Structure 1
Amino acid sequence: MLWNWQLSDWPQFRFDQASLRAAEERFIKGAGVIVGSLHHLDGEARQGIAIELISQEMVDSSAIEGEVLDRASVQSSIARQLGFASAKRRSNPAEAGAAELMVDLYRRYAEPLGDQLLFEWHSMLMNGRRDLADIGAYRTHADAMQIVSGALHAPRVHFEAPPSDRVSGEMAQFIAWFNDSCPQGSAPLPAITRAGIAHLWFETIHPFEDGNGRLGRAIAEKALAQSLEAPTLTALSATINRHRKAYYAELQRASQSNQIDDWLHWFASIVLEAQSRTLASIRFLIEKTRLLDRLRGKINARQEKALIRMMAEGPDGFIGGLSAHNYRTITDATSATATRDLAELVELGALQRTGERRYARYHLVISTNVSGNLKSDSNH
């Protein structure tokens, strides 16, 4: 089998731009709705949502590669690097490096892409690693760079990247295209199209010894941010992580041809879903603040603690809902007190109950209806 980079038309990607027009327009419209929604938040709340989304991006981006980072530690590190007060929480080298990368992406999204910027990002991401020959530099090993699975004696090769001696030349061509295709470049491309091509192209070259997936998704985020001329809050990695199996399958399929319509259409659907998740997170923050304000003086400390704990799970909430047992664990309440507290929260409209007796579950009454808000905000 020949890979895309081995074909005679590499890297002349072919696709039907007109078929992506509707998705590109939805993305730009959605970006406007997000900006409008952020105006409902004060400075501290906007800082909070930025820290939440940035940290979740890196936690999920690492999870796609099988690396587990502690979200609270990453959040704390990001808050400190952005100059916001945060809890004194110790981060391990991987968490600190991941946070540094995401903050740098957030702050310097508008800068042109270059070898040095990528080397800095790689050094941040590989913070604390001692098992790699090349950190902060393109790979130099003579062995084939392959993505494989299966047993050692019978590996299955999903993809093989260009050899190391071709990486510098391939990256020079990629970087020139990336900068030329930005909004101010000589050959600008629409946001989703550019981000989709950039991610596929970078992953094809696989220029580093490790960390290519996370860096490739950071480059896609950079492309989206440059197109919007603002730090992106698109939850791209968080959404890809929810479709991880399809993500790898689509990347493998796209690596076999330079006709990339299928890849771009799949990527566009992920970007639009990510944007909806971002808006849902912002709506959730706005509505939870309103709910707590409405309940102030009407609930006790136990009830407030439980609600805040539920809200910490974000728009998706407790999986399966909050049980009375969960409530007792969170608040140290007795069974009778928990029953009474939960009933009061239902009566106040803070929680909705489903099920009966030991099967009873409680859910936050917070609307994050994105489609309805998109419609109403578009009229402003």
Structure 2
Amino acid sequence: MRWNWQQPDWPEFRWNDRTLAKAEAAFLRGVGVLVGSAKHLDDDTRQQLLVDAMSVEALTTSEIEGEMLNRASVQSSIQRQLGLLSDRRKVQPAEQGISELMVTLYRGVDEVLTEDHLFSWHRMIVAGRGDLRDVGRYRTSDEPMQVVSGASYAPKVHFEAPPSNRVRKEMAGFVEWFNRTAPGTDSALPALTRAGVAHLYFESIHPFEDGNGRIGRAIAEKALVQGFGQPVIVALARSILAHHGDYYRSLEEANKTNDVTRWLRWFSAIALEAQYRTFAQIDFVIHKTKMLDSLKGRINARQEKVLLRMFREGPEGFEGGMSAKKYSTIAETPPATTTRDLAGLVEAGALVRSGELKHTRYVLNIPQSNIPAITIDEAGRVYHAISEEAKTASESE
């Protein structure tokens, strides 16, 4: 088998513009709504949204790689780096590093991409690692860089990247291409197309000893947001995590050809879904602010602590709902106090109760956002699937 980088047309990726036209148009419409919505938020709400969005992306891009980080520590680190009030808790190197990457990406979204940026990002995300030889530089090992699965005695090779002695040349070409296709240039590409190709191009080279996935998704995020007119965090990693099996299968398939139309259809659908997640995050933060304002002076410190813990989970909701047992653990209360506190939150309109006895659960009393699963067919028609009901997006034009 010959991988994409071994083929004579590498890296001249090709795709069908017409197949992606409707998705690109839908994305641009969403950008307008997103930027408009953000402009109408007050400063405190905008800061809260920014911290929440960055935290979710930091956590989920790490989770895709099997690394589970502490949510509160990541959030505290991001707040500190943005100059906001934080609890000053001790943060582990991995949490500090991915938080630095999120903040750096946000602040420098309009900057041209350089190899120094990539080396700096790599140092951030492998902070605290003592098992890597090449930190803050491209890989140098003579061993093949392979993505494998299965038993060690019979591994399945899903992809093999170019040898280390080709990486510097390949990456020089990638960086030049990325900057040449940015908004405002003569060779500018539409946002979804550029982000999708950039992610695949980078992952095909796999230039670092480790951390390629997180850096590749950061590059795709940068490409999506460039041209917005203002920095915005798009929930790309969160959407990829929701479809991580398809993500790896789609990448594996795309690594075998330089016709990337099918890959771009898949990636564009994920990016559109990420827009919906970002809309949901904005609505969620607005409802959170309104609820907490309305409850001032009406709930005790224990109840506020539990509500804030539930809100920390974001639009996806507190897993399994809040139970009396969970409340007691978070608020450190005995059963009788827990029962009174939960009843008080229901009466105040903060929580909604369902179920009985040991199956009783409580959820936040805010509108739930439906995140559609989006697909793009071979004709370029964009479909939303909500509640088992497929609907054609934007009349599919």
The answer for the alignment partner of 1:375 in structure 2 is none
The answer for the alignment partner of 1:103 in structure 2 is 103
The answer for the alignment partner of 1:43 in structure 2 is 43
Q: Are the counterparts in 2 of residues 222 and 232 from structure 1 also a CA contact under 8 Å? A: no
Q: Give, as a single letter, the amino acid of the residue that structure 1 aligns with 2:118.
A: L
State the SS of the aligned residue for 1:147. Answer: strand
Cα deviation per residue 1:278-315 (whole Å; 9 max; x = unaligned)?
Answer: 22111111111112222334334443333222222211
Identity of matched residues, %? 55
- Equivalent runs, 1:76-91 vs 2, <5 Å: 76-91=76-91
TM-score (norm 1): 0.91
Q: Give, as a single letter, the amino acid of the residue that structure 2 aligns with 1:112.
A: V
The answer for the alignment partner of 2:273 in structure 1 is 273
- More displaced, 190-199 or 57-66? 57-66
How far apart, in 1, do the equivalents of 2:91 and 2:101 lie?
Answer: 14
- Equivalent runs, 1:114-153 vs 2, <5 Å: 114-153=114-153
Q: How many aligned positions are there?
A: 371
The answer for the alignment partner of 1:177 in structure 2 is 177
Give the drift of 1:112: 1.0
Unmatched 5+ residue regions in structure 1? 372-380
Q: Give, as a single letter, the amino acid of the residue that structure 2 aligns with 1:324.
A: A
Give the drift of 1:90: 1.2
How far apart, in 2, do the equivalents of 1:307 and 1:327 lie?
Answer: 10
Q: Are the counterparts in 1 of residues 203 and 216 from structure 2 also a CA contact under 8 Å? A: yes
Cα deviation per residue 1:44-96 (whole Å; 9 max; x = unaligned)?
Answer: 22122212211221221111112222222222222222222211111222222
Q: Are the counterparts in 1 of residues 35 and 228 from structure 2 also a CA contact under 8 Å? A: no
Q: Are the counterparts in 1 of residues 80 and 88 from structure 2 also a CA contact under 8 Å? A: no
- More displaced, 283-292 or 124-133? 124-133
The answer for the alignment partner of 1:282 in structure 2 is 282
Q: Are the counterparts in 2 of residues 190 and 227 from structure 1 also a CA contact under 8 Å? A: no
RMSD: 1.9
How far apart, in 1, do the equivalents of 2:77 and 2:296 lie?
Answer: 31
Q: Are the counterparts in 1 of residues 45 and 289 from structure 2 also a CA contact under 8 Å? A: no
Q: Give, as a single letter, the amino acid of the residue that structure 1 aligns with 2:12.
A: Q
Assess, with a 3 A threshold, how the Cα gap between structure 1 residues 103 and 365 changes in structure 2: closer, same or farther.
same
Q: Give, as a single letter, the amino acid of the residue that structure 2 aligns with 1:171.
A: M
Q: Give, as a single letter, the amino acid of the residue that structure 2 aligns with 1:207.
A: P
Assess, with a 3 A threshold, how the Cα gap between structure 1 residues 88 and 298 changes in structure 2: closer, same or farther.
closer
- More displaced, 181-190 or 316-325? 316-325
The answer for the alignment partner of 2:361 in structure 1 is 361
Give the drift of 1:130: 2.8
- More displaced, 239-248 or 315-324? 315-324
Give the drift of 1:247: 0.7
Give the drift of 1:368: 4.7
Give the drift of 1:173: 1.5
Give the drift of 1:40: 4.0
The answer for the alignment partner of 1:376 in structure 2 is none
Assess, with a 3 A threshold, how the Cα gap between structure 1 residues 186 and 230 changes in structure 2: closer, same or farther.
same
How far apart, in 2, do the equivalents of 1:238 and 1:204 lie?
Answer: 22
Unmatched 5+ residue regions in structure 2? 372-397
State the SS of the aligned residue for 1:210. Answer: coil
How far apart, in 2, do the equivalents of 1:3 and 1:144 lie?
Answer: 13
Assess, with a 3 A threshold, how the Cα gap between structure 1 residues 137 and 363 changes in structure 2: closer, same or farther.
same
Residue 318 (structure 2) pairs with residue 318 (structure 1): yes
Assess, with a 3 A threshold, how the Cα gap between structure 1 residues 114 and 331 changes in structure 2: closer, same or farther.
closer
Cα deviation per residue 1:197-236 (whole Å; 9 max; x = unaligned)?
Answer: 0000000001111111111011001101213232231011
Give the drift of 1:336: 4.5
Runs (4 or more) in structure 1 with deviation over 6 Å come to none
Cα deviation per residue 1:120-160 (whole Å; 9 max; x = unaligned)?
Answer: 22122222333222222111211111111112221111100
How far apart, in 2, do the equivalents of 1:39 and 1:179 lie?
Answer: 28
Cα deviation per residue 1:160-211 (whole Å; 9 max; x = unaligned)?
Answer: 0111111112112111111111012220111111000000000000111111
Residue 238 (structure 2) pairs with residue 238 (structure 1): yes
How far apart, in 2, do the equivalents of 1:353 and 1:309 lie?
Answer: 17
Q: Are the counterparts in 1 of residues 57 and 238 from structure 2 also a CA contact under 8 Å? A: yes
State the SS of the aligned residue for 2:283. Answer: helix
The answer for the alignment partner of 1:228 in structure 2 is 228
